[in-house]
Amino acid sequence: MENRELSDRVAQLLEKPGPLSIVEAGDPVLRQKTASYDGQLGDDVLQRLVGRMRETMEKTRNAVGLAAPQVGLPLRLAVLATPEALTARLVESGQQPVPFTVLINPSYEAAGGPRTMSFEGCLSVPGWQAMVARPDRIRLTREDETGRRLVEEHAGLGARIVQHETDHLDGVLYLDRAELRSLSTMEQVVKRWGPAGVAATAEQLGFPLP
């Protein structure tokens, strides 16, 4: 997408109030490697786009991240945060809530520790979840919305969200990495596999753990 075409597309998105529309699996934009952000939009438009992506994420039930391709933009940009409704459960399980974070031109590498398996879902694949094995600790390099370059370590749920959203920017859906024998409806995950735990889920559905 040329810079003028990108700018026009962003302008179209921003002129309509309310949450942005989510692109669903099957749309080619979800399978494109995104263009790096190098100031194509200008600071004011970038801030407005980030704000609208945050609004969309926060108003979408159970959303923890949103990548630009999911709103139709092949741009290396994503936002993430764990909603307040999850905070108590995360603290009880010994994990840290993820504050609102902007990923611009992100990349990551494993930073030691095991690969862990957990159910993931996606706003672009509504109604389904599947188990994905990912490094439990990563080193993330990113820029924020002010242009600062940051290098950070993330673990647990935060690391998983970063990997999931960065995958979107490479044209990768979580299903590409998933154990497809675990593919389940949201209802099954909540009622059956969540209470069962990872090991029991793997045994009953017949797939190996990492």
Write the CA distances from 115 to 110, 153, 183, integer angstroms.
Answer: 9, 15, 19
Q: What does the pLDDT read at residue 122?
A: 98
CB 115 within 8 A of CB 159: no
User: Active-site residue numbers?
Assistant: 165
Res. 10: pLDDT tops 90: yes
* Angle of CA points 57, 125, 7, to nearest 5°: 55
pLDDT tens digit string along 63-112? 999 999 999 999 999 999 998 877 777 777 777 889 999 999 999 999 98
CATH fold of 3-177 = Peptide Deformylase (3.90.45)
How many Å apart are CA 8 and CA 14, to the nearest integer? 10
Q: What residue segments make up the domains of the chain, in order of their start?
A: 3-177
> Is residue 162 pLDDT above 90, yes or no?
yes
Structure tokens at 11: 């302008």
Q: Judge contact between 124 and 173, C-beta under 8 A.
A: yes
Q: Which two tokens stand for residue 67?
A: 């990548």
What residues are paired with 134 via a beta bridge? 116
Question: What pLDDT, on the 0 to 100 scale, is given for residue 127?
Answer: 96
Q: Which residues are annotated as a binding site for Fe cation?
A: 122, 164, 168
Closest CA to 162 of 96, 81, 89: 81
Q: Which amino acid is at 101?
A: T
Distance CA 86, CA 65 (A): 13
Which residues are annotated binding-site positions?
A: 122, 164, 168
